[in-house]
Amino acid sequence: MLEIKDLHVTVDGKEILKGLNLSIKAGEVHAVMGPNGSGKSTLSFTLAGRAGYDVTKGSILYRGEDLTALAPEERAAKGIFLAMQYPVEIPGVTTLTFLKASLNAQRRARGESELDAMSVLKLVREKAKLLNIPEEMLRRALNVGFSGGEKKRLETLQMALFEPALAILDETDSGLDIDALKLVAEGVNAMRSPDRAMLVITHYQRLLNYIVPDRVHVLAGGRIVAEGGKELAHELEAKGYAQIIKDAA
């Protein structure tokens, strides 16, 4: 599904990713763990196609296609979804309006027919129920005044709505209390499927108690320095990043 080879990424003239390799097959859930400043957010923004994240070397293949030349909206239409660490507030655009615009834009790009307002509402309601998102929240401006938990729940709702082939979750646990974390993790787990790959990016092991990964990668200094099964996350929690990175060197 996703094949990253020798990826070098520069942000503001500074090289952040320095030869990252990562491969994820359909049906798998991979975790990328790393300390602050290791390049976790750079990886997620690069995959989503954010301007200013320049790939200077290496390749990203998604379903065999080179991603680097595609605009963010083209990647979204092809099934890539990034659940952001800090979902952006957009005053004046209601959540429902936004959901309809984005869902239909993706459908249009794929040559599918657009859904009318009623069909979108029905679909959104159905998914919102599972995530405990009240209808009132959908009528508020997008993310404006939402609590941390509400924002992450809304990100999860979008993932459920768009049904991406590759879901990237950037620090989804940050700012969540344990109840909110469980709710979000349930939503994510419900999306696990043989056709879908997930990349869970996190600093802490806590989230991985709820979303159990098939593989764990340790990111440090812009490269993957260690890899293993889900037990690697526990080892990291016990020993700390410094020790694991030292062991790997």
Partner 1 sequence: MNAAMPWLDARRAEALESFRLKGVPHRRIEEWKYSDVRSVIGAEEIAAADTAKWQIEGETADVDVVDLSGEIPQWARDRFAMLGLHNAMESASLAFAKGGIAMRVTGNKAAGPLRLNWSGHGHARVFIVLEEGASLTLVEKHAKARGLRNIGTEILLANNAQLSHIAVAEKSDEAVGVETITVKVGPDARYNAHFANFGARLSRFDITVTLEGEGSEARLSGVSALGGGTHADVTTHIIHAVSHTQSVQLFKKVAAGKSRAIYQGQITVREGANGSDSRQTAKGILLGERAEIDLKPELEIYADDVKCAHGAAVGDLEAEQLFYLRARGVPEAEARNLLIRAFLEEAVLEIPEEAIRAEVWREVEAALEHLV
- Of residues 150 through 169, those in contact with partner 1 by CB under 8 A are 158, 162
What distances in angstroms separate CA 79 from CA 72, 85, 102, 103, 202, one per listed residue?
11, 19, 13, 12, 22
The two beta strands, 197-202 and 29-33, are parallel
**One-letter amino acid for residue 45 of the chain:** F
- Say how many residues touch partner 1, by CB under 8 A: 27
- Of residues 97 through 156, those in contact with partner 1 by CB under 8 A are 98, 101-103, 105-106, 109
69 near partner 1 (CB under 8 A): no
Shortest CB 98 distance to partner 1, Å = 8
Please tell me the distance from the alpha carbon of residue 188 to that of residue 184, in angstroms, as a whole number.
6
Nearest Cα to Cα of residue 218 among 50, 21, 2 = 21
Please tell me the distance from the alpha carbon of residue 161 to that of residue 213, in angstroms, as a whole number.
22
Which CB, 146 or 162, lies closer to partner 1? 162
Binding mask 20-59 for partner 1 (x = CB under 8 A): ----------------------------xxxx--------
Structure tokens at 100: 């309809």
SS3 for 210? Answer: helix
State whether the Cα torsion 100-102-104-107 is positive or negative. negative
Which CB, 71 or 117, lies closer to partner 1? 71
Which residue stretch of 73-81, 120-128, 178-186, 206-214 sits at the interface with partner 1 (rule: CB under 8 A)?
A: 73-81
Could you list the residues that contact partner 1 (CB under 8 A)? 48-51, 71-73, 75-77, 82, 84, 87-88, 90-93, 98, 101-103, 105-106, 109, 158, 162
